[in-house]
Chain A
Amino acid sequence: MRRFALIAIPYTWLLALFLVPFLIVFKISLSDIALAIPPYTPTMKDGFAALIQGLDFENFVFLTTDDLYYKAYLSSLQIALISTFLTLLVGYPMAYGMARAPQEWRATLMMLVILPFWTSFLIRVYAWIGILSNEGFLNQFLLWTGLISDPLTILNTNTAVYIGIVYTYLPFMILPIYAALDRMDDSLIEAAEDLGCSRLSAFWLVTVPLSKNGIIAGCFLVFIPALGEFVIPSLLGGSGTLMIGKILFEEFFNNRDWPVASAVAVILLLILIIPIVLFQRNQQKEAEA
C-alpha cells in the first residue's frame, strides 16, 4: 500500500500535467474552427454524444494538402539535426577541457557554463541581434580588422538560427558529456597508450566510446527542444527560415485556428516520440550494463 502511494505521486503528476493536457489538445485537434469562445466546436456544452459525433480527422487531412506543413516539419528536422551536431562539435571539446582541468578550477568552469541561465533566455537571444545584425558588433569588428569590406548578412538567415540554438542549448550538451568524462578513470588512457595507442587513437578508442552515453543524452537534450523551437527562429531567422514552432505560433495567434494548431502540435509530438523512445532505450541499456 505504501509502495502504491509512493509511485502514485509521479503518476498523478504525469497524469495531471502531461496526459490530461495532451488529451485536451488532441480533442481540439479533432474539432472544427468556430467564431466563438473558445474558438472551436463542438465543446462540452453540446453534450457528450454531440461532442463525440462532432470530432473528425479533417485537420490532419488538411495538413497533408498544404505542402507548407510537411516542408516545415522537414526543415525543422534538418535545422534541429544540424544544430545538434554543431552543438556537439562545440560542446565536446569544452566538456573535455572541463573534465581535464585541475580539480580546483572545475567548480568555476561549471559555474561559467551555467551562468547564462541566470539571464532571461529572451534577452540573451535579443542580444544576438545586436551582435549579428549588419551594423552589429561582429560586422563592425570584422570591418575594423579589414577582413571584410562589406558587412556580412547573418541575421535573419538560417546561420543566425544555428548560432542561436548552439548558444542556447550548449549547456545541455556540455553537462552530460562532462559527467561521463569526469567519471572516467585516467588510468584507462594511460593503459591504452601503454598498449600502443597514440594520444589520438586512445581518444577515439577509449574516451569517445566511454563518453558515448553522455553524447547521446546531450544530443537528445538539444535535439528535442530544438525541433519545436519558436523564439530563436522568429527572432534570429528570416522569412526563409521555416520551422514548425513558428507555423504553430502563426496558426494559433495570427489565424486563431486552434484546431489546426493543435493538429500541428500532435504531429510534432508524434515525431518527437521516436527520439524519446530511442533515448529511453539508451538509458535503459546503460542501466542494464
Chain B
Amino acid sequence: MNTSVFAPWNDPDEKPLIRFKNVTKRFGDFLAIDDLTQDIYAKEFFALLGPSGCGKTTMMRMLAGFETVTEGTIELAGKDIAAVPPNQRAVNMMFQSYALFPHLSVYDNIAFGLKRDKLPKDRIDARVAEMLKLTRLEKFARRKPHQISGGQRQRVALARSLAKGPKLLLLDEPLGALDKKLRQETQFELMDIQETTGTTFVIVTHDQEEAMTVASRVAVMDEGRIIQVATPDGIYETPNSVYVADFIGDVNIITGSAKAAGEDKYFVDWGVNQAPILATSERPFAEGQECHLAIRPEKISITKDKPDDAENAVQGKVLDIAYLGNLSTYHVQLPGGQVIKAQTANTRRLSRRGITWEDPVWIRWNATAGVLLEK
C-alpha cells in the first residue's frame, strides 16, 4: 500500500512544505490558535480534525492569507509568507460554500484564476479542458453553477482551485454539503485526484470518518492546539489521550490506578470487588498512578458462558443492543453500574443471535487490546 512507504514525516532529511512555528492567533481576547508548531510535507493529504471552534478553519485561513498571524511564523517552502497577500500565494482554497461565481459558466469559473495570470488563450483552453476531464465535467462546461447538481458544483470548485496548479490546496469541509453516499464516493475521488496531481492537500473537517478515509496524517485539534498528529491507524489504535480516543470513533474508558505486572505490563485496579485488568503499555506508569484504559468496542468480545483462558473477563448484563445491520453493539452493564460497549460483526442472521436483553453475559478482551493513557 502506498501509505506504508509514504512517510516523509519520519525522514529527518525531508524538508517540510509548510512549517508552523509557534503560531498564535488571537481575535480580540479570544485565543484561536495557541502556540502551535507543526510541519506538513509535500504531497501529503493532511487533515485537520476537531469540533467547531477548535481553530482548524483559522489555521487554514492563515495559510490562504485571509487571516494574519498574531505571533510566530508560517513558512511555505522555506519562506515566511506573512507579508504575501492571498492573491500572490501559490496556495488555492476550495471553499466550504464552494464560492462559485454565479454569473460565470463552469468553464469561466475554472478559467478565472488562469485568466488572472494573463496566460495565452490556447493555454487556458488546454488547462481548463484538462481540469474538466479530471473532474469529469466536460459535458457541463457551458452551464452556470445553478444549473448543475450539488456534487457537480463540488467538482467545479475542486477543478477551479486546482487549475492554477497550486503547491498547496486547502479544502474547507469540502464534502460537508453532500449526502452520505455521494460523500463516500467523492472521498475516493479526492484521493485519486490528489494522487494524480501530486498536490499537497490540507483538509479541514469535523467528520472523523472523512479524515480517516482520505488523509495520510490526521491532526486532532482542540481549543487552538493540536492534541495529536498521526496516521489514521495511529490515531485510532494508539491515541495519546482520552480526548483523542473519545473523539475518534467509539471507545470504552475504564479509569483506575496502575500497578506494575511485569515488563510493559500493568494491572489496573478499577473497582471494588473487581479483578484488576491486565493491560500492556509502552508508556511507563508509576505505582498507583491514575490511568485510563481505552478499549474499542470491536476489541471486546461477548459470550454467554464464562471464557476459560481470557486475560480479562468480566460478567455483566445486557442493557441494550444497537443493531446496525452489519454490526451489533451490546451495552453491557457491569455490577458496579459501569456500561461497557462490545461490538460484534453480524456474520449470522439476526434470528440466530443467542444473546438478548437482560441476559447475563461475559465480556473478554486481551491485554493488548486497549491503550493505557495518562489523561
Asked if A19 is at the interface (CB within 8 A of a chain B CB), the reply is no
| Number of interchain pairs (Cβ within 8 Å) | 58
Q: Which residues of B contact A205 (CB under 8 A)?
A: 112
B341 in contact (CB, < 8 A) = no
Contact present for B99 and A185 (CB under 8 Å): yes
Q: Pick out which of these stretches binds chain B: A21-29, A137-145, A156-164, A190-198.
A: A190-198
Q: Does B97 contact A (CB under 8 A)?
A: yes
Contact B146 A191 (CB under 8 A): no
Selected from A191, A193, A198, A209, the residue in CB contact (under 8 A) with B103 is A209
Contact assessment for A195 and B112 in the assembled complex, using a CB-CB cutoff below 8 Å: yes
Is B113 within 8 A of A196, CB to CB? yes
With A and B bound together, what is the CA distance between A206 and B104 in angstroms? 10
Is B144 at the interface (CB under 8 A from chain A)?
yes
B160 at interface by CB-CB < 8 Å: yes
Chain B residues numbered 88-136 whose CB sits less than 8 Å from any CB in chain A: 88, 91-93, 95-97, 99, 101-103, 112-113, 116-117
**B88, chain A: closest CB distance, angstroms:** 8
**CB neighbors of A among B58-102 (8 A):** 64-66, 85-88, 91-93, 95-97, 99, 101-102
A283 close to B (CB within 8 Å): no
User: Which of B64, B87, B102, B161 contacts A210, CB < 8 Å?
Assistant: B102
Chain A residues 196-213 with CB under 8 Å of chain B are 196-198, 201, 205-206, 209-210, 212
Rounded to whole Å, the gap between the CB of A199 and the closest CB of chain B is 9
Closest A residue, CB atoms, query B117: A196
B97, A195: Cβ atoms closer than 8 Å:
no
Question: Is there a chain A Cβ closer than 8 Å to B153's Cβ?
Answer: no
Minimum distance in angstroms from A151 CB to a CB of chain B: 49
The CB with the most chain B CB atoms within 10 A, among A190, A195, A198, A205, is that of A195
| Cβ-based interface call for B317 (8 A) | no
> What size tier do the contact residues of chain A reach?
10 to 19
Within 8 A of A (CB), among B156-188: 160-161, 164
Given contacts A187-B95, A198-B87, contact A192 B112 (CB under 8 A): yes
| Closest CB in chain A relative to B140 CB, distance in Å | 17
A197 interface neighbour in B87, B93, B146, B160, Cβ under 8 Å: B87
Q: How far is the CB of A202 from chain B (nearest CB, A)?
A: 8
Is B87 a contact of A190 with CB atoms below 8 Å? no
Task: Please indicate which of the listed interface residues A187, A198, A201, A210 has the most CB atoms of chain B within 10 Å of its own CB.
Answer: A187
Interface centre among A190, A191, A196, A209, by most B CB within 10 Å?
A191
| 24 chain-A/chain-B pairs, Cβ below 8 angstroms | A187-B95, A187-B99, A188-B101, A190-B93, A190-B95, A191-B99, A191-B101, A193-B85, A194-B64, A194-B93, A195-B87, A195-B92, A195-B113, A195-B116, A196-B88, A196-B116, A196-B117, A196-B164, A198-B87, A205-B112, A206-B101, A210-B101, A212-B103, A289-B146
Known: A188-B99, A195-B113. 10 other contacts (CB 8 A): A187-B97, A188-B101, A193-B87, A194-B86, A194-B92, A194-B161, A195-B116, A196-B116, A196-B117, A210-B103
